[in-house]
C-alpha cells in the first residue's frame, strides 16, 4: 500500500526538501499551501504535477493553520498515514512584531491538527511530526543541549513552540497518539528564506562581489549557532515517524560557529579577505584589498531578548535513528554561496542589458 503524507508548510525550506524525500520513498504527498496574491510555490515548482493527469502523487491543498475548519476537512479528505507539521511563522525577530499571530499559527495551529486527528478518529492510523526547535532552550541551562535540558524560551516564537511541544507530549500520553517532537537546531540551504542570517549573508556578499550592492548590515555578530544542512535534517524528521514507538529527538551537528565566522567562511568562498575593525555597535568588516566596507552592524537587527548560544548533542538520534549529518559547515557555506553567486550573476547580466533588477534587501 502506498503511504500517504500530509505536509503543512510545504512551500517552505524544509517542506520542499521533505516533499522531495517522501516522493523518492514512494509516498503520495499532500501539501498545504496558503493563498497568496502572487504565486508562492517557487521551492516546489520542480515537483509540480498537473492535477488533470491520472493519479498524481504530489497534491496541493489551500489551507491555513489558523483555520481549524480547513484543517479538519483536509485531514478527513487525505486520511494521512503521516502528518508533518512544518508550517509556522518561523522568524524569531518577526515574532516580536506579530506575537499574537505567531501564537495562533505556531501554538494553536499545532493543537488544531492534533484535535483534527482525534475528532476524525485517526489516533491509530496517523503519525504526527512536530517541528520543534532549539529556540526552546533560549537562555541555555546546560551545554551541550540534549532531550533532557530544561527549556527557557526567549521570544514569542519560542514560547509558542513551547506550547506546541507540550501539546504533542500531552496528546501522546493522553490519547496514545504516535506523535514526536523533532528538536531541530538551525538548518540552512540555498532554499533558506532570504531574511535568516545565513542566507542574508551569502546573498548579500555574492551581490557585493558583483557590484550589485554596497554593504551588508547585520545585528549580533557574536551569536553562536549549530548550523546543519536542511536536506540532512528532513531525513531525521522522516526517520522519527518510522520507529516502533514515538519519542522526541534532538537533531544537530554538535559543532558551533558565530555569525562573524559564518561571514568569514562566506568571504573565503568568494575570495574576499575580510578584516574586522571596531567593536560592538561600531564593528565593521572591510575588504582587505580594496578597503571598501563590506559589513556593518545595525542595532535595528538586535532582538529584545537574544539567544546567544546554541549547541546540540545529537547522540540519541545517532544511536536510535542511525542518523548522522552528512554535510559539513564548510560544504554548506560553499553550496549556499555558489547558488547565490549564480543568481547574482543572472541579475548582473540583466542589469548590463539594461533591465532593472529588484534590489530589496533586509
Ligand atoms: P519556512 O519559514 O521556510 O517555512 C514555513 C512554512 O510555513 C511556509 O511554507 C509558510 O508558508 C508556512 N506557513 C506560515 N504560516 C502559516 C500558516 N498560518 N498556515 C499555514 N502555513 C503557514 O521555515 P522552515 O522550512 O525553515 O522550517 C520549517 C519548520 O521547522 C517551521 O515550523 C520552523 O519553525 C521549524 N524549525 C526550523 C528550523 C530551521 O533552522 N529551519 C529549526 C527548528 C525548527 P508561505 O510559504 O506561504 O510563507
Ligand atoms: P534563528 O535564526 O533566530 O536562530 O531562528 P536567524 O538566522 O534569524 O538568526 C540567527 C542568529 O543570527 C543573529 N543575527 C541576525 N539574524 C537575522 N535574521 N538577521 C540579521 O541581520 C542578523 N544579525 C545577527 C540573530 O540575532 C540570531 O542570534 C532560526 C529559525 O529558522 C527558527 O524558525 C528556528 O526555530 C531556529 O532557527 C532554530
| CA 321 to mean position of chain CA atoms | 21
C-alpha distances in angstroms, 156 versus 36, 60, 94, 227?
Answer: 24, 29, 9, 22
pLDDT for 51: 85
Q: Work out the average pLDDT over 37-58.
A: 93
Q: Work out the average pLDDT over 35-61.
A: 94
- Domain definitions of the chain by residue range: 4-184, 197-224+257-307+329-353
Ligand 2 centroid distance, CA of 135 (Å): 10
CA distance 89 to 81: 25
Q: What pLDDT digit, counting tens, does each position of 80-124 carry?
A: 999 999 999 999 999 999 999 999 999 999 999 999 999 999 999
Between 3.20.20.80, 2.60.60.20, 3.30.1330.90, 3.40.50.720, what CATH number should domain 4-184 receive? 3.40.50.720
**What ipTM was estimated for this complex?**
0.99
Nearest residue to 333 via CA among 248, 272, 263: 263
Q: What pLDDT digit, counting tens, does each position of 299-349 carry?
A: 999 999 999 999 999 999 999 999 999 999 999 999 999 999 999 999 999
CA distance 351 to 361: 17
Q: Work out the average pLDDT over 17-28.
A: 98
Q: Work out the average pLDDT over 9-35.
A: 98
Q: What pLDDT digit, counting tens, does each position of 235-283 carry?
A: 999 999 999 999 999 999 999 999 999 999 999 999 999 999 999 999 9
Are 88 and 165 within 8 A, CB to CB?
no
Residue with cell 515548482: 45
Ligand 2 centroid distance, CA of 196 (Å): 5
Q: Would you say the pTM of this structure is higher than 0.90?
A: yes
pLDDT for 133: 99
Number of C-beta neighbours around residue 322 at 10 A: 8
Q: Is the CB of 89 under 6 A from ligand 2?
A: no
- Residue % of the chain over a pLDDT of 70: 99
Q: Work out the average pLDDT over 214-238.
A: 98
- The H or E element that residue 237 is part of is helix 230-240
Residue to mutate (ligand 2; options 87, 164, 186, 257; most atoms within 8 A of CB) = 186
Q: What pLDDT digit, counting tens, does each position of 167-214 carry?
A: 999 999 999 999 999 999 999 999 999 999 999 999 999 999 999 999
Are 247 and 320 within 8 A, CB to CB?
yes
Residue 361 has pLDDT above 70, yes or no: no
Residue to mutate (ligand 2; options 133, 138, 197; most atoms within 8 A of CB) = 197
CA distance 38 to 211: 29
Residue 359 has pLDDT above 80, yes or no: no
Q: Is the CB of 18 under 6 A from ligand 1?
A: no
CA distance 278 to 280: 7
Active site residue 102: no
The protein residue with its alpha carbon nearest to ligand 2, atom 8, reads: 196
Residue 362 has pLDDT above 90, yes or no: no
pLDDT for 199: 98
CA distance 91 to 93: 6
Could you confirm whether domain 197-224+257-307+329-353 is CATH 3.40.50.150? no
Q: Taking each helix axis from N to C terminus, what angle separates 13-24 and 230-240, rounded to the nearest 10 degrees?
A: 60
CA distance 5 to 20: 12
pLDDT for 131: 99
Asked whether the CA dihedral 91, 227, 309, 216 is positive or negative, the reply is: negative
Active site residue 157: yes
pLDDT for 110: 99
In total, the chain counts a number of residues equal to 362
Amino acid at each position: 500500500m502506498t503511504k500517504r503524507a500530509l505536509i503543512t508548510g510545504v512551500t517552505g525550506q524544509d517542506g520542499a526538501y521533505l516533499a522531495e524525500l517522501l516522493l523518492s520513498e514512494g509516498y503520495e504527498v499532500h501539501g498545504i499551501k496558503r493563498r497568496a496574491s502572487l504565486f508562492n510555490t517557487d521551492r516546489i515548482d520542480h515537483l509540480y504535477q498537473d492535477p488533470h493527469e491520472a493519479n498524481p502523487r504530489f497534491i496541493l491543498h489551500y489551507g491555513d493553520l489558523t483555520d481549524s475548519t480547513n484543517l479538519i476537512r483536509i485531514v478527513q479528505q487525505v486520511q494521512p498515514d503521516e502528518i508533518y507539521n512544518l508550517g509556522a511563522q518561523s522568524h524569531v525577530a518577526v515574532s516580536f512584531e506579530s506575537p499574537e499571530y505567531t501564537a495562533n499559527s505556531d501554538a494553536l495551529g499545532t493543537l488544531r491538527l492534533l484535535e483534527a486527528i482525534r475528532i476524525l478518529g485517526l489516533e491509530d492510523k496517523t503519525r504526527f511530526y512536530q517541528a520543534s526547535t532549539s529556540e526552546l532552550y533560549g537562555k541555555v541551562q546546560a551545554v551541550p543541549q540534549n532531550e533532557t535540558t530544561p527549556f527557557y524560551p526567549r521570544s514569542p516564537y519560542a514560547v509558542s513552540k513551547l506550547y506546541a511541544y507540550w501539546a504533542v507530549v500531552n496528546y501522546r500520553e493522553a490519547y496514545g497518539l504516535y506523535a514526536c517532537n523533532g528538536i531541530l537546531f538551525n538548518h540552512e540551504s540555498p532554499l533558506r528564506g532570504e531574511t535568516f542570517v545565513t542566507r542574508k549573508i551569502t546573498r548579500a556578499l555574492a551581490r557585493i562581489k558583483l557590484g550589485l550592492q554596497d554593504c551588508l548590515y547585520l545585528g549580533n555578530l557574536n551569536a553562536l549557532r549549530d548550523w546543519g544542512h536542511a536536506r540532512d535534517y528532513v531525513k531525521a524528521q522522516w526517520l522519527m515517524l518510522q520507529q516502533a514507538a514515538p519519542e522526541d529527538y534532538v537533531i544537530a551537528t554538535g559543532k558551533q560557529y558565530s555569525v562573524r565566522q559564518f561571514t568569514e567562511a562566506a568571504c573565503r568562498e568568494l575570495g574576499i579577505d575580510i578584516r574586522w575593525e571596531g567593536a560592538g555597535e561600531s564593528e565593521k568588516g572591510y575588504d582587505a584589498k580594496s578597503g571598501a566596507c563590506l559589513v556593518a552592524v545595525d542595532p535595528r537587527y538586535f532582538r529584545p531578548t537574544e539567544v546567544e548560544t546554541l549547541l546540540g548533542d545529537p547522540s540519541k538520534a545517532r544511536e536510535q535513528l542511525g542518523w548522522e549529518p552528512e554535510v559539513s559547515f564548510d560544504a554548506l557555506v560553499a553550496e549556499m554561496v555558489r547558488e547565490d553567486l549564480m543568481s547574482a550573476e543572472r541579475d548582473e547580466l540583466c542589469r548590463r542589458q539594461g533591465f532593472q533588477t529588484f534590489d530589496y534587501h533586509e
